[in-house]
Amino acid sequence: MTGVGLIGTGFMGKCHAIAWNSVRTVFGDVAPVRLVHLGEANAELATRRADEFGFEKGSGDWRAVIADPEVEVVSLATPNQFHPEMAIAALEAGKHLWCEKPMAPSFAEAEAMLAAARKSGKVAVLGYNYIQSPAIRQIRTLLSENTIGAVNHLRIEMDEDFMADADTAFGWKHAATSGYGALDDFAVHPLSLVQTLFGRVSRVMCDMAKPYAERRVEGGGSRAVETYDIASALMHLENGVSGTLLVNRSAWGRKGRIAVQIFGSKGSILFDQERFNEFQLYVTSDRPTEQGYRTILAAPVHSPYDRFVPAPGHGLGFNDLKIIECHELIARIGGRPANIIEFDEGLEIERTVHAMARSFEEGRWVAVR
């Protein structure tokens, strides 16, 4: 029996709740999950969400969740800025931690979170769910099997359009207090894929841009935008591979694009998160007249797709990736090998993001470490 606490019930908090509700039914091989305690901004909302999400009780104070002796694992799905305090408190209270990404607004805070995790001896995992899709896992297998030979170049893009409307009023994401902009908001996701598939980034050279110099303020007037919706980076990985990482949160028409292009000496692989139930493979071992990108649909042969549906091509959804992540977390807590990004590797993602920002500010290549 795993006792679960959840703090935060917005986009990702609900996603965690769905995962905790389904993980045992889907996978079958884990202990029963007990939904113990839910924390929200106030008692009324906490109680309502606890009821909806199937938690035994709700509290308007997140400290009550952490203090609850029945809670063994804390799902932390509050905004970024609250992560350091809550995460460190949970770890100090001896709870395992499942924390949404990114870790923290500042690198120093992220370092403190890692230190707390190390000191606690507890499992501290980040919610980088895109590494969980069967397609990405199969791509990793193909890379390890040398199917496309030695990889020599990599391109990765992440684009959405939730900031693209010029008429949207100035909000907290436009203020420098929220961070750099697309870089920390977004680039951490493609970096989680880069790190999972290829290892760490060593050097970066980044440019950033603002599509809209200012935005109207609710009530009248306008205010200069302080964050950058677009970031474009050249990068070198520790393994010697070069590549580019391009992100844009004002890209009209893009909804959840994470486009990956991997080039090797014997083939190449393409992937796009907007169609994450498929990926494309080109190999030179095919006969020349029949060489072409294969569009491979996710199927039971691509673990753990089979736990969800026994028929190929039927498709997983975004929330299913969180269920897989939850299953990996449980495995990790149980001492089994897990495909998951813990605080130590998560800190490297943040280190890379901050190096990119510094590179932009200084207009030069920057070493990540």
Query: Residues 298-306: contacts with CB within 8 Å, 24+ apart?
Result: 298/133, 298/134, 298/135, 299/134, 302/134, 302/135, 302/137, 302/138, 303/134, 303/137, 304/27, 304/134, 305/134
- Residues that contact a second copy, how many (by CB under 8 A): 99
The answer to the question of residue 189 lying near a second copy (CB under 8 A) is no
The answer to the question of residue 160 lying near a second copy (CB under 8 A) is yes
Shortest distance, CB of residue 369 to a second copy, whole angstroms? 18
Shortest distance, CB of residue 21 to a second copy, whole angstroms? 5
The answer to the question of residue 3 lying near a second copy (CB under 8 A) is no
Q: 201 to 240, contacts with a second copy by CB under 8 A?
A: 205, 207, 209, 211-212, 230, 232, 234
CA gap 244, 235 in Å, rounded: 6
Among 66, 87, 116, 142, binds a second copy (CB under 8 A): 142
CA gap 60, 69 in Å, rounded: 17
The answer to the question of residue 14 lying near a second copy (CB under 8 A) is yes
The answer to the question of residue 80 lying near a second copy (CB under 8 A) is no
The answer to the question of residue 304 lying near a second copy (CB under 8 A) is no
The answer to the question of residue 336 lying near a second copy (CB under 8 A) is no
Among 56, 162, 216, 345, binds a second copy (CB under 8 A): 162
Shortest distance, CB of residue 273 to a second copy, whole angstroms? 8
State the residue for tokens 């929200």. 40
How many Cβ atoms are within 10 Å of 294's Cβ, its own excluded? Answer: 12
Q: Which phi-psi region, left, alpha or beta, contains residue 179 (left: φ > 0; alpha: ψ -120 to 50)?
A: left
Shortest distance, CB of residue 133 to a second copy, whole angstroms? 10
Q: 41 to 60, contacts with a second copy by CB under 8 A?
A: 51-54
**Which is nearer to a second copy, 93 or 205 (by Cβ)?**
205
Helices 343-362 and 188-198 sit at what angle, rounded to 10 degrees? 120
Shortest distance, CB of residue 121 to a second copy, whole angstroms? 31
Q: Are 283 and 270 in contact (CB under 8 A)?
A: no
The answer to the question of residue 314 lying near a second copy (CB under 8 A) is yes
The answer to the question of residue 4 lying near a second copy (CB under 8 A) is no
Among 88, 125, 296, 355, binds a second copy (CB under 8 A): 296
For β-strands 267-272 and 278-283, DSSP reports them as: antiparallel
Shortest distance, CB of residue 174 to a second copy, whole angstroms? 15
Q: Are 19 and 39 in contact (CB under 8 A)?
A: no
Q: 121 to 140, contacts with a second copy by CB under 8 A?
A: 138
Among 80, 81, 202, 244, binds a second copy (CB under 8 A): 244
**Which is nearer to a second copy, 95 or 257 (by Cβ)?**
257
The answer to the question of residue 182 lying near a second copy (CB under 8 A) is no
CA gap 99, 136 in Å, rounded: 21
The answer to the question of residue 257 lying near a second copy (CB under 8 A) is yes
State the residue for tokens 């203090």. 67
The answer to the question of residue 254 lying near a second copy (CB under 8 A) is yes
Q: Please give the order of strands across the beta sheet that includes 151-159.
A: 278-283, 267-272, 257-264, 151-159, 242-248, 230-237, 201-209, 366-367
Among 111, 312, 339, 348, binds a second copy (CB under 8 A): 312
Say whether 128 sits in a helix, a strand or coil: coil
Q: Are 174 and 225 in contact (CB under 8 A)?
A: yes
Say whether 63 sits in a helix, a strand or coil: helix
Among 4, 125, 156, 316, binds a second copy (CB under 8 A): 316
The answer to the question of residue 291 lying near a second copy (CB under 8 A) is yes
